[in-house]
Amino acid sequence: MNIIMINGSPRKEGRTGKLTTIISKKYNVKTIDLSELVLPIYNGQEEQNEIATIQKLRSKLENADAMIIATQEYHGGMSGALKNAFDFLGSKHFKDKPVAILAVAGGGKGGINALNNMRIVLRALYANVLSKQVVIDPLDFISEGTALEENTSYSVDSLFQELKLYTQISKKLNEEWATSNY
C-alpha cells in the first residue's frame, strides 16, 4: 500500500513538520515536505509543467494509493504553501483516493477552519476525504516534539487504521470495477 504524506507547512522547524516526522517514522510512510520542496507560485502557464519539482510532486501523488495531509491553520485556512501545491495538481492525483487530514493548532483557534478549507479544495479534486480528522494542539507534543501524548497518539492511530481500511476497500473496488463488464 503506497500511502504518501504531505507536510503542508513551509516552516522548517514547525510543529506540522514534527507531526509528519512522528507519523512517517511510526507508520513507515514517505513524506512530501513543503518546507523542503520549493515550488513557484502557481500561475497556470504551460512552462510550469516542465519544472522538475512540479513533475516530482505530481509523480509521487499520481502513484499513491492514499494520502495523509497535515497543515497548520493560517488566518482561518490551510497554509498558502499547501494550497499552492494543490493548484499544481489535478483530479488524476486524487480521484477516488482516500485522504486523511490533520491540522496543527496554535493560538487558541482550534484548526477546524484549516480542516474545512482542505475538505473544500480536496472535494474539488475528487478526493475521498475521511470523515474522521485530527487536530493536534501544541500541548499534545511531548519529549521535545518527538512524540505525542497518549490520547493524541491513539487518535492518530485510529485515523491511520481507518485510512488503511478505506484504502484496501478502495483498491478492491477499483480492481473489481476494472474487470467488470459495466
CB atoms within 10 A of CB 113: 17
Structural domain range at position 130: 3-179
pLDDT mean across residues, the chain: 94
Identify the pLDDT of residue 108. Answer: 63
Cα dist. 11→19, 79, 120 in Å?
12, 10, 24
Identify the pLDDT of residue 47. Answer: 96
Stretch 24-33: mean pLDDT, rounded? Answer: 96
Stretch 75-89: mean pLDDT, rounded? Answer: 95
Residue 48 to residue 161: CA distance in whole angstroms:
36
Whether the per-residue pLDDT at 28 is higher than 90: the answer is yes
Identify the pLDDT of residue 176. Answer: 85
Whether the per-residue pLDDT at 82 is higher than 70: the answer is yes
Residue 25 to residue 28: CA distance in whole angstroms:
5
Q: What is the CATH number of the domain that holds 156?
A: 3.40.50.360
How many domains does the structure of the chain reveal? 1
Q: Which residues contact 87 (CB under 8 A, 6 or more apart)?
A: 42
Whether the per-residue pLDDT at 43 is higher than 90: the answer is yes
Stretch 65-92: mean pLDDT, rounded? Answer: 95
Confidence (pTM): 0.94
Better-scored residue on pLDDT, 107 or 89: 89
CB atoms within 10 A of CB 36: 12
> What digits encode the pLDDT tens for the residues 99-117?
999 999 876 667 999 999 9
